[in-house]
């Protein structure tokens, strides 16, 4: 089987990461008859290209996630490579024990594609269908590779990479369109972070749709203040790219992580664990506050409220840098 | 000839019970649910039901046994060892530090298809294996052995629904209906009855047998699928703790460690039972 995909593939405007992932799944199925599609998210905005082309390898389940994940484990035991499309709130959270035992423990060659948002306007980050705590859960599970691609193009390449990777993989996706980060030449490699912008004063480390683009925009805002920020897309949250992080910590000092995730246990936690061992430096973890909120609002509005849009990230980074420089003075 | 075949199976079940007694005395074991499945395992492994090869545990095209009631590992290990998947002498290491024979079956043990013991995992995984077999046009079968208390797990019924929906007639679920779960009779804790009717309502083809009658078990298990296009459910009516007077029909011996006196009594009772069967 061909490993990886052509870096020439670029998502058309308006395509969500979840929809791009669907196209990559069809591509995997064209290359290798072992790929099966298991469906717990049939209302996907990107349509169902896999079902249209390979109906005999498409298994509709529509909910009942615990038994669906178990069946994925069984298919993997029988030599298939199940691709599970699901809402993370149900596929990863409700069926967590099946993921842990039937997939991770058995090192099942199964791939989980989880949307963290219900619809294009998901409302409150802590709302019923939202699964923004998925990274903390996923990275605690043994043997599980955890990927949060930055946009639709990266999601396509991440899906091909996941398909070529032996063992269980969780890919975090969004069902609504997010700003593009990558164009031609996206070279996605599991476990290897990507420096999107070089800089020497501090490093912004981000993962998953929306916030990587916001971190890049924040770096541009910081530049106007004379602050030179490096930006890393740390798309693989587990295993984490320790070398790239240690290098950034050594060269820029302050690390600011950015995630659409509770501030505990996600990307920031993973970075802190790595740097604590390898190169302790001042850190600031930006994410969703550890509190449940009930206000309505679009996803963009919610990100702004949490300080996860470009001005919010730039402001937090500026304050963290000033504080650190004050302590050093 | 047939009578002789059944006598051999009864002897195999008796051997499994003696292994369970040894393991329960040495290390503690889920005594009740291990003793109730002795005949079921004897027929599966020693009557030519399961097409498996101990020399090639992962043989392509083999039948699968998913031992969903993994807490009854003592019975399973006894059957696997007697069938030749690993040395019988290894049973003495049950649950000891460094042994692969953990209290719940681990995937590294030859003949174990799935790590089980956390209830409710077996039937969904069995569905996946059966789906793959159907897709590939293979003739292997998937047998899943469930406890009755286990069927209180909602995921079992999700899987029951899916198996019928996908017409998985290569899937056979066997329920060890011993009527007693960890903390009391199933009908007092969380009633399952009308149990067979529930499976029928989920579009399974159901047969009921005396789970300690090797002849009935053998006839049923050699007759799967019970109906083309439908998953098969064998409801095996059993006695929890079967063969040990002090352990029968009580949740007190769901799990336990036999004293040396209890072990001696157990062996005496099993010997008397063998004598009663004319051997």
Q: What is the rounded distance in angstroms from the CA atom of residue B235 to the CA atom of residue A25?
A: 41
Percent of chain B scoring above 90 in pLDDT: 97
Q: Which residue in the set B123, B125, B162 is minimally distant from A77, CB to CB?
A: B125
* A249 sits in which H/E element: helix A242-252
CB pairs under 8 A between A and B: 85
CA distance A1 to chain B (A): 20
In the predicted model, is pLDDT for residue A126 greater than 80?
Answer: no
Q: Is B124 on the interface with A (CB under 8 A)?
A: yes
Nearest-Cα distance to chain A for B34, in Å, is 23
Work out the minimum CA distance from A67 to partner chain B, whole angstroms. 5
The model's confidence at residue B42, banded by pLDDT at 50, 70 and 90, is very high
Q: What is the pLDDT of residue A1?
A: 37
Q: What is the CA radius of gyration of chain A?
A: 19
Q: With beta carbons under 8 A apart, name residues in chain B contacting A70.
A: 121, 123-125, 127-128, 155, 159
Region B38-61 average pLDDT: 98
Interface of A with B in 27-86 (CB under 8 A): 36, 56-57, 59, 61, 64, 66-80, 82
Please judge whether A75 and B162 are an interchain contact, meaning their C-beta atoms are less than 8 angstroms apart. no
- In the prediction, which pLDDT does A298 show? 76
In this predicted structure, what is the pLDDT of residue A296?
A: 72
pLDDT bracket for residue A160 (50, 70, 90): very high
Q: Enumerate the residues of chain A whose CB falls inside 8 A of the CB of residue B114.
A: 73, 77, 102, 106
Q: Is B262 within 8 Å of chain A by CB?
A: no
Q: Which residue has the tokens 């002897």?
A: B11
> Which pLDDT belongs to residue A143?
97
Residues contacting B276, CB < 8 A, separation 6+: none
Query: Does residue A20 contact residue A42 with C-beta atoms inside 8 Å?
Result: no
Q: What are the tens digits of pLDDT across the range A174-204?
A: 888 889 999 998 999 999 999 999 999 999 9
Query: In the predicted model, what is the mean pLDDT of residues B42-62?
Result: 98
pLDDT at residue A133 tops 70: yes
| Interchain CB distance below 8 Å, A78 and B125 | no
Q: What percent of chain A has pLDDT over 70?
A: 91
The model's pLDDT over A69-103, given as tens digits with 9 standing for 90+, comes to: 999 999 999 999 999 999 898 899 999 999 999 99
Predicted pLDDT of residue B180 = 94
Q: Is A64 in contact with B118 (Cβ distance < 8 A)? A: no
A101 and B132 in contact by Cβ < 8 A?
no
Q: How confident is the model at residue A120 (pLDDT cuts 50, 70, 90)?
A: very low
Q: What is the pLDDT of residues B80-115, one digit of tens each?
A: 999 999 999 999 999 999 999 999 999 999 999 999
E strands, B21-161, are 64-67, 142-147
Residue of chain B whose alpha carbon sits nearest to that of A33: B136
Q: Shortest Cα distance from A111 to chain B (angstroms)?
A: 15
E strand or H helix at A232, and its extent?
A: strand A229-233
Whether the CB-CB separation of B146 and B123 falls below 8 Å is answered with yes
- Average pLDDT of chain B, as a whole number: 96
Q: Do β-strands A169-173 and A145-147 pair in parallel, antiparallel, or remain unpaired?
A: parallel
Contacts of A106 in chain B (CB under 8 A): 107, 114-115
ipTM over 0.85: yes
Q: Is the pLDDT confidence value at B233 over 90?
A: yes
Strands B171-177 and B142-147: parallel
| Tally of residues, chain A | 329
The residue among A131 and B220 whose pLDDT is bigger is B220
pLDDT of residue B117: 92
Taking residues A23-31, report their average pLDDT.
96
Picking from A160, A154, A159, the residue whose alpha carbon sits closest to that of residue A185 is A154
């Amino acid at each position: 089987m061909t490993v990886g995909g052509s870096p020439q593939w670029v998502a058309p405007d308006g395509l969500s990461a979840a929809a791009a992932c669907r196209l990559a799944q069809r591509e995997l199925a064209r290359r290798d008859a072992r790929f099966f599609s298991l469906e717990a998210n049939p209302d996907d905005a990107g349509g169902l290209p896999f079902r249209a082309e390979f109906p005999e390898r498409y298994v509709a389940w529509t909910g009942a996630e615990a038994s669906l994940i178990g069946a994925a484990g069984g298919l993997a035991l029988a030599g298939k490579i199940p691709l599970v499309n699901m809402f993370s709130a149900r596929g990863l959270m409700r069926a967590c024990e099946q993921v842990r035992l039937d997939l991770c423990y058995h090192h099942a060659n199964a791939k989980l594609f989880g949307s963290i948002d219900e619809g294009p306007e998901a409302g409150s980050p802590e709302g019923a269908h939202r699964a923004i705590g998925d990274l903390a859960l996923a990275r605690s599970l043994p043997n599980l590779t955890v990927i949060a691609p930055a946009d639709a193009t990266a999601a396509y390449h991440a899906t091909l990479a996941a398909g070529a990777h032996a063992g269980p993989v969780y890919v975090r996706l969004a069902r609504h369109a997010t700003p593009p980060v990558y164009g031609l030449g996206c070279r996605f490699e599991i476990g290897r972070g990507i420096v999107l912008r070089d800089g020497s004063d501090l490093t912004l480390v981000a993962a998953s749709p929306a916030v990587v683009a916001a971190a890049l925009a924040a770096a541009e805002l910081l530049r106007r203040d004379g602050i030179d920020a490096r930006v890393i897309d740390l798309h693989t949250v587990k295993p984490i790219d320790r070398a790239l992080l240690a290098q950034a910590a050594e060269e820029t000092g302050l690390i600011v992580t950015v995630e659409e995730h509770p501030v505990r246990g996600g990307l920031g936690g993973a970075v802190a664990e790595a740097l604590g061992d390898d190169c302790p430096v001042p850190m600031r973890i930006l994410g969703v506050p550890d509190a449940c909120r009930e206000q309505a609002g679009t996803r963009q509005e919610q990100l702004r409220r949490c300080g996860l849009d470009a001005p919010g990230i730039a402001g937090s980074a500026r304050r963290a840098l000033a504080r650190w420089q004050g302590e050093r003075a | 000839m047939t009578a002789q075949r059944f006598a051999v199976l009864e002897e195999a079940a008796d051997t499994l019970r003696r292994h369970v007694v040894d393991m329960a005395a040495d290390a503690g074991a889920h005594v009740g649910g291990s003793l109730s499945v002795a005949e079921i395992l004897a027929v599966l492994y020693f009557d030519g039901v399961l097409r498996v090869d101990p020399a090639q545990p992962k043989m392509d095209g083999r039948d699968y046994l998913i031992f969903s009631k993994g807490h009854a590992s003592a019975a399973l290990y006894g059957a696997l060892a007697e069938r030749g998947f690993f040395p019988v002498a290894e049973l003495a290491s049950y649950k000891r530090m460094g042994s692969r024979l953990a209290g719940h079956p681990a995937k590294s043990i030859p003949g174990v298809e799935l790590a089980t013991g956390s209830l409710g995992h077996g039937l969904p995984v069995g569905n996946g294996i059966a789906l793959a077999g159907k897709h590939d046009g293979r003739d292997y079968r998937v047998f899943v052995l469930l406890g009755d208390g286990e069927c209180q797990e909602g995921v079992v019924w999700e899987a029951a629904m899916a198996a019928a929906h996908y017409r998985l007639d290569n899937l056979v679920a066997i329920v060890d209906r011993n009527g007693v779960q960890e903390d009391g009779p199933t009908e007092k804790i969380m009633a399952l009855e009308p149990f067979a009717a529930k499976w029928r309502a989920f579009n399974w083809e159901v047969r009921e047998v005396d789970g300690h009658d090797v002849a009935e078990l053998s006839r049923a298990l050699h007759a799967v699928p019970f109906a083309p296009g439908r998953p098969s459910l064998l409801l095996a009516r059993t006695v929890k703790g079967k063969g040990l007077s002090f352990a029968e029909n009580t949740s007190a011996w769901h799990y336990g460690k036999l004293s040396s006196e209890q072990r001696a009594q157990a062996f005496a009772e099993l010997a008397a039972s063998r004598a009663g069967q004319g051997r």
